[in-house]
C-alpha cells in the first residue's frame, strides 16, 4: 500500500468544482460513462491491430446503484489501468485537465453558457461523491490496483484482487447528492446523455417474454426470462450510411429521438461530411405550427454519440433551429462560451455546410416532386422565408424554389411569376408590379376587380411576408409588390379589352363626391373603376407605402 499527494497548485480544487458547476452536477455520470466507453473502444482498437492479445467479445458497461451502501458503481470491460497508469492518468492527466477547465471556466463564467460543461472529466465525480475508488485491471499482465481518494489532494494506492479486465469506479455519494441513488434519476440521466452511446449500457435487469412453445395450451402463460436491461441504442441511424436506410428507418429514428412526438416529420436531411470538418447527423422538417415558442423538441448536439446539449444556438443558423434531429461533430469546441463559438472558423464552416445541405434538399424535393412540394409548402414556408431574410446564401438558393401562391391556389416561383406577368403588369417605369392580397375575405372585391382585369393576384399571408417582399424588391431589379387595394393598380399598363363600367359618367361623378364626403381619412383615394363582375362598382384605395409603413410598425424591424 502506498500513499501519495496529488500534485496541484490549487489545493482546494474540490470545493471549487462543487461551487462552479453547481447547477450541472448531473454531468458526472456522462463523463464517467464516456471514460468507460473510451476505454472499451481503445481495447477494441488494440485487439483489431493485434497489439492486445485478447478476445474483445461483446463488452458492456454496467451501472449499479447500491442504495443501502450509498454507492454508485460504473463498471467497464475496457483497457483497464496499471498502477503506473493510474498515477499518470488519474493523478496527473485527469487532474490537470480539471484544473485547466476550472481556469477557463472562471474566466468564462461571466460569459454565459459554456456548452455542456465538457472537459472536466474524471474529477467531476467529486461533484456528487465525497469518496471515489477505482479498481482496475489492465489488459496486460500487470496486477490489479485499487485507488481511493476522499476529495483532499491525498490518495491511497494498493493492490487489488480483481481478475477480470476493466475498470470499476465506485462513488460514495455525498449526503447532498442522494438523488443519484434513485433508480428513476439514473434512468433519466442515462436517457438524456447516453441514449445513443456506442457501447451497450446495462442498468438492472428486465423481464423478456418469449414465444410460446409449439405444444403450449391456449391459456398457458407465455414463458419469460430475465435479461440485461440495455438502456441505449449503440448504432443510431445517423451513424449509418444513407444508402443503408429507408424512409421507415428515418421515421423510426425520429420516434426514438422524440418519443412524445406523434406527428410524423415531413422529410429528413442526412448530413455526412468528413472534410474539412467531421459532422454527421439527421435533420427533420416538422410540420411548422405558428406558435414556435412552445417547441421543446429541439435539435440535439452530440459529440461521438454523447449528448451535449439541445441548445444549438451559434452552431446552426437561427432559422434552422426550428428543425429537429441530431448533429454529431467532434469539431465543435465545447469548453468555450457561445460568443467565442460564433467567431470560430470551424463552426462557421459547419453552419454554412448545414445551410447548403438544407437548401439542396429543398431544391431536390422541388425538382423531383413539385406536386408534393407544393402540398407541403404551407408547413415549411416559415423556415424558408425566414431563411431567405436572414441568410444571403440561403436566399440565393431558395430563390429558385420558393413558392408564391395565388389566391386561386396555384404556386409560382419568382421566375415563373415574372414570365407570367411581364407583359401585362408593368407600370410606366417598366417596373414589374406584383399584386397580392393579404386577406382573401376582406379584400374580396379588390381581388375580383384585379382578376377581371386579367391580373395575377398572389396570396401573401405569412407572418413575415412584408419583410420578404421588401427583400425581394431590393434584391431584384424593377419589381414592386402592391396590395390589390392600393392605388397603383390603376397605373398599370392596361390590356386592350378593358371592361366598361356599368355607371354613366354623371352617376360616377355623383357617387365619387358623395363618397369623398363620407370618407374623411384623406390618405384614401376613391376610384370609380371599370368593373365587370357583381363586385362593388367603386373601390377605395390607399397608397401602398402608407399601408406598409403601418404594417412594419406593427411587426417591428425590417429584413
Instruction: Give the residues lining the site for ligand ADP (CB under 6 A).
Output: 31, 35-36, 38-39, 76, 78-79, 81, 89-90, 93-94, 97, 121-122, 167
- Show the DSSP H helices in 496-543 as ranges: 505-518
Indicate the residue among 35 and 321 with the shorter CB distance to Mg ion.
Answer: 35
CB 62 within 8 A of CB 75: yes
Indicate the residue among 59 and 121 with the shorter CB distance to Mg ion.
Answer: 121
Q: Where are the beta strands (DSSP E) in 108-200?
A: 129-137, 145-149, 154-159, 166-173
Indicate the residue among 308 and 465 with the shorter CB distance to ligand ADP.
Answer: 308
Which segment (120-128, 290-298, 344-352, 408-416) binds Mg ion by CB under 5 A? 120-128
Partner whose binding site includes residue 79, from Mg ion, ligand ADP, none (CB under 5 to 8 Å by kind): ligand ADP
Closest contact distance (angstroms) between CB of 146 and ligand ADP is 14
Indicate the residue among 39 and 433 with the shorter CB distance to ligand ADP.
Answer: 39
Tell me how far CA of residue 448 lies from CA of 343, 408, 422, 489, 512, in angstroms.
52, 11, 20, 13, 21
Partner whose binding site includes residue 351, from Mg ion, ligand ADP, none (CB under 5 to 8 Å by kind): none
* Residue 97, annotated as binding a ligand: yes
Alpha-carbon distance 346 to 326, whole Å?
Answer: 18
Closest contact distance (angstroms) between CB of 102 and ligand ADP is 13
* Residue 58, annotated as binding a ligand: no
* Residue 207, annotated as binding a ligand: no
CB 469 within 8 A of CB 460: yes
Closest CA to 145 of 105, 63, 195, 89: 89
Indicate the residue among 74 and 465 with the shorter CB distance to Mg ion.
Answer: 74
Instruction: Note whether 466 binds Mg ion by CB under 5 A.
Output: no
Partner whose binding site includes residue 41, from ligand ADP, Mg ion, none (CB under 5 to 8 Å by kind): none
* Residue 165, annotated as binding a ligand: no
Closest contact distance (angstroms) between CB of 73 and ligand ADP is 12
Indicate the residue among 95 and 411 with the shorter CB distance to ligand ADP.
Answer: 95
* Residue 84, annotated as binding a ligand: no
Which of 59, 78, 121, 559 is the binder for Mg ion (CB under 5 A)? Answer: 121
Residues present in the chain in total: 559
Closest contact distance (angstroms) between CB of 168 and ligand ADP is 8
Partner whose binding site includes residue 391, from Mg ion, ligand ADP, none (CB under 5 to 8 Å by kind): none
Partner whose binding site includes residue 93, from ligand ADP, Mg ion, none (CB under 5 to 8 Å by kind): ligand ADP
DSSP type of residue 426: B
Which of 35, 37, 136, 337 is the binder for Mg ion (CB under 5 A)? Answer: 35
CB 279 within 8 A of CB 353: yes
Closest contact distance (angstroms) between CB of 119 and ligand ADP is 7
Give the pairing type, strands 457-459 and 432-437.
parallel
Tell me how far CA of residue 149 lies from CA of 14, 17, 175, 557, in angstroms.
11, 15, 17, 58
Give the pairing type, strands 71-75 and 166-173.
antiparallel
Alpha-carbon distance 509 to 512, whole Å?
Answer: 5
* Residue 96, annotated as binding a ligand: yes
Closest contact distance (angstroms) between CB of 380 and Mg ion is 40
* Residue 167, annotated as binding a ligand: yes
DSSP type of residue 488: G
Give the pairing type, strands 324-328 and 267-273.
unpaired
Closest contact distance (angstroms) between CB of 152 and ligand ADP is 18
Burial of 11 (0-12, 13-18, 19+ CB in 10 A): exposed
Indicate the residue among 118 and 436 with the shorter CB distance to ligand ADP.
Answer: 118
Nearest residue to ligand ADP, using CB? 121
CB 144 within 8 A of CB 160: yes
The helix (run of H) or strand (run of E) holding residue 273 is strand 267-273
Q: Where are the beta strands (DSSP E) in 293-391?
A: 300-303, 306-309, 324-328
Partner whose binding site includes residue 544, from Mg ion, ligand ADP, none (CB under 5 to 8 Å by kind): none
Closest contact distance (angstroms) between CB of 44 and ligand ADP is 13
Closest contact distance (angstroms) between CB of 191 and ligand ADP is 21
Residues in CB range of 502: below 8 A, 6 or more apart: 531, 537
Query: How many C-alpha atoms does 416 have within 13 Å on its Cβ side?
Result: 13
Partner whose binding site includes residue 94, from Mg ion, ligand ADP, none (CB under 5 to 8 Å by kind): ligand ADP
* Residue 549, annotated as binding a ligand: no
Closest contact distance (angstroms) between CB of 555 and ligand ADP is 48
Indicate the residue among 305 and 406 with the shorter CB distance to ligand ADP.
Answer: 305
Indicate the residue among 80 and 121 with the shorter CB distance to Mg ion.
Answer: 121
The residue assigned the cell 453558457 is: 113
CB 147 within 8 A of CB 86: yes
Residues in CB range of 203: below 8 A, 6 or more apart: 62, 63, 186, 187, 190, 229, 231
Contacts with Mg ion, residue ranges (CB under 5 A): 35, 121
As annotated, the binding site includes: 31, 35, 76, 81, 96-97, 167, 338
As annotated, the binding site for ATP includes: 31, 35, 76, 81, 96-97, 167, 338
Amino acid at each position: 500500500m502506498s500513499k501519495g499527494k496529488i500534485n496541484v497548485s490549487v489545493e482546494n480544487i474540490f470545493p471549487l468544482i462543487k461551487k462552479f458547476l453547481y447547477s450541472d452536477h448531473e454531468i458526472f455520470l456522462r463523463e464517467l460513462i464516456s471514460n468507460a466507453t473510451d476505454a472499451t473502444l481503445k481495447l477494441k482498437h488494440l485487439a483489431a491491430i493485434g497489439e492486445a492479445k485478447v478476445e474483445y467479445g461483446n463488452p458492456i458497461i454496467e451501472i449499479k446503484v447500491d442504495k443501502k451502501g450509498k454507492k454508485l458503481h460504473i463498471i467497464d470491460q475496457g483497457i483497464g489501468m496499471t498502477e503506473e497508469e493510474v498515477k499518470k492518468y488519474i493523478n496527473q492527466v485527469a487532474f490537470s485537465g480539471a484544473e485547466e477547465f476550472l481556469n477557463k471556466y472562471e474566466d468564462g463564467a461571466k460569459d454565459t453558457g459554456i456548452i455542456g460543461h465538457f472537459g472536466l472529466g474524471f474529477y467531476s465525480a467529486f461533484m456528487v461523491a465525497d469518496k471515489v475508488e477505482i479498481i482496475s485491471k489492465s489488459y496486460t499482465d500487470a496486477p490489479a490496483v485499487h485507488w481511493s481518494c476522499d476529495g483532499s489532494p491525498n490518495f491511497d494506492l494498493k493492490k487489488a484482487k480483481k481478475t477480470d479486465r476493466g475498470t470499476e469506479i465506485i462513488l460514495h455519494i455525498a449526503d447532498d447528492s442522494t438523488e443519484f441513488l434513485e433508480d428513476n434519476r439514473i434512468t433519466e440521466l442515462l436517457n438524456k446523455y447516453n441514449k445513443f452511446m456506442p457501447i451497450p449500457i446495462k442498468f438492472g435487469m428486465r423481464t423478456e417474454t418469449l414465444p410460446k412453445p409449439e405444444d403450449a395450451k391456449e391459456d398457458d402463460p407465455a414463458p419469460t426470462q430475465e435479461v440485461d436491461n440495455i438502456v441505449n441504442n449503440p448504432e443510431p441511424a445517423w451513424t449509418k450510411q444513407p444508402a443503408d436506410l429507408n424512409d421507415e428507418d428515418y421515421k423510426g429514428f425520429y420516434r426514438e429521438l422524440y418519443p412524445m412526438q406523434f406527428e410524423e416529420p415531413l422529410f429528413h436531411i442526412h448530413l455526412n461530411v468528413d472534410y474539412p470538418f467531421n459532422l454527421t447527423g439527421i435533420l427533420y422538417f416538422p410540420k411548422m405550427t405558428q406558435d414556435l415558442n412552445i417547441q421543446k423538441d429541439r435539435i440535439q448536439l452530440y459529440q461521438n454519440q454523447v449528448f451535449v446539449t439541445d441548445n444549438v444556438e451559434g452552431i446552426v443558423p437561427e432559422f434552422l433551429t426550428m428543425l429537429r434531429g441530431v448533429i454529431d461533430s467532434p469539431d465543435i469546441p465545447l469548453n468555450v462560451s457561445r460568443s467565442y463559438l460564433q467567431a470560430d472558423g470551424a463552426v462557421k464552416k459547419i453552419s454554412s455546410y448545414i445551410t447548403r445541405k438544407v437548401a439542396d434538399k429543398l431544391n431536390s424535393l422541388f425538382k423531383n416532386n413539385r406536386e408534393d412540394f407544393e402540398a407541403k409548402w404551407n408547413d415549411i414556408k416559415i423556415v424558408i422565408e425566414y431563411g431567405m431574410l436572414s441568410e444571403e446564401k440561403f436566399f440565393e438558393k431558395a430563390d429558385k424554389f420558393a413558392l408564391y401562391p395565388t389566391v386561386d391556389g396555384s404556386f409560382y416561383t419568382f421566375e415563373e411569376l415574372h414570365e407570367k406577368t411581364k407583359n401585362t403588369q408593368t407600370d410606366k417605369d417598366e417596373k414589374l408590379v406584383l399584386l397580392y392580397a393579404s386577406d382573401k375575405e376582406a379584400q374580396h372585391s379588390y381581388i375580383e376587380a384585379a382578376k377581371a382585369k386579367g391580373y395575377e393576384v398572389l396570396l401573401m399571408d405569412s407572418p413575415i411576408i412584408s419583410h420578404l417582399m421588401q427583400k425581394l424588391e431590393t434584391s431584384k431589379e424593377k419589381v414592386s409588390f402592391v396590395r390589390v387595394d392600393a392605388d397603383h393598380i390603376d397605373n398599370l399598363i392596361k390590356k386592350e379589352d378593358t371592361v366598361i363600367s356599368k355607371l354613366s359618367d354623371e352617376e360616377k361623378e355623383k357617387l365619387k363626391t358623395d363618397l369623398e364626403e363620407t370618407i374623411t381619412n384623406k390618405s384614401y383615394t376613391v376610384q370609380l373603376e371599370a368593373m365587370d363582375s357583381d363586385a362593388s362598382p367603386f373601390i377605395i384605395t390607399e397608397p401602398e407605402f402608407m399601408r406598409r409603413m403601418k404594417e412594419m410598425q406593427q411587426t417591428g424591424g425590417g429584413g
